[in-house]
């Protein structure tokens, strides 16, 4: 059983066009805090990133932000950054992603753009290569990730994902069910318990 202490959340630094995305960020952050887990995220204080951090902090949780120096003024405000429990400033994106991986026991993707896709796909790639067995979750708010999940299915069907059993991302529609899904995946070699299986759609 893998011990879950910190959850990494990848998401957009913009709010998106649907208010539900921001609400999902708040709900996920709050549930991470309520479970006594630490949030590890990209350090931004705007958009969905800001919502996740705000939700965690308001619920009394601990937040570690990891952000490259060149994004400090683009994705965050100095006043908001002061509220984080820990802030790590890296020299570049590569250092940021590596530090996020090292600090986290599970990875979650909320709606976001190209950067969010790149981050979660890299985590899935490392899992496929056997570099880790940490749970990976797509929070499929309003079907946001359906095209991505369809693409993954298509790649597997066409014979380009030969070790899909090592990837096994979880798909959860309710942000408040993410922590339960992670805990289920971390125990018993990734097999969800009977009560949690209904909120998890394994690929």
Of residues 159 and 73, more confidence is placed in 159
Which pLDDT does position 74 carry in this prediction? 81
Residue 126 predicted with pLDDT over 80: yes
pTM over 0.85: yes
Q: Alpha helix (H) ranges present in the chain?
A: 19-34, 47-58, 72-75, 78-81, 93-103, 114-128, 146-157, 178-186
- As a whole number, mean pLDDT of residues 126-150 equals 95
Q: Which 8-state DSSP code applies to residue 104?
A: -
Q: Using one digit for the tens of pLDDT, what is the confidence trace for 154-197?
A: 998 998 987 766 777 999 999 999 999 999 999 844 443 333 33
Which pLDDT does position 200 carry in this prediction? 33
Alpha carbon distance 155, 112 (integer Å): 22
Alpha carbon distance 109, 181 (integer Å): 13
- As a whole number, mean pLDDT of residues 102-120 equals 97
Alpha carbon distance 188, 175 (integer Å): 23
């Amino acid at each position: 059983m893998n011990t879950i202490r910190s959850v990494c959340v990848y998401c957009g630094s913009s709010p998106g066009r649907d208010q539900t995305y921001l609400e999902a960020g708040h709900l996920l952050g709050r549930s991470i805090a309520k479970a006594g887990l630490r949030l590890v995220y990209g350090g931004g204080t705007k958009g969905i990133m800001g919502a996740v951090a705000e939700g965690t902090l308001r619920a009394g949780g601990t937040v570690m932000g990891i952000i490259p120096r060149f994004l400090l003024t683009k994705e965050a405000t100095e006043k908001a950054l002061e509220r984080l429990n820990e802030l790590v400033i890296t020299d570049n994106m590569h250092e940021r992603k590596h530090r996020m991986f090292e600090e986290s026991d599970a990875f979650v993707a909320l709606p976001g753009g190209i950067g969010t896709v790149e981050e979660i796909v890299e985590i899935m790639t490392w899992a496929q290569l056997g570099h880790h067995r940490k749970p990976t979750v797509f929070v499929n708010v309003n079907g946001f990730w359906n095209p991505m999940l369809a693409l993954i299915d298509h790649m597997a069907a066409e014979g380009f994902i030969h070790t899909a059993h090592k990837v096994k991302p979880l798909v959860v529609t309710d942000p408040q069910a993410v922590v339960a899904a992670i805990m289920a995946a971390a125990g018993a070699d990734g097999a969800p318990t009977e009560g949690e299986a209904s909120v998890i759609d394994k690929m």
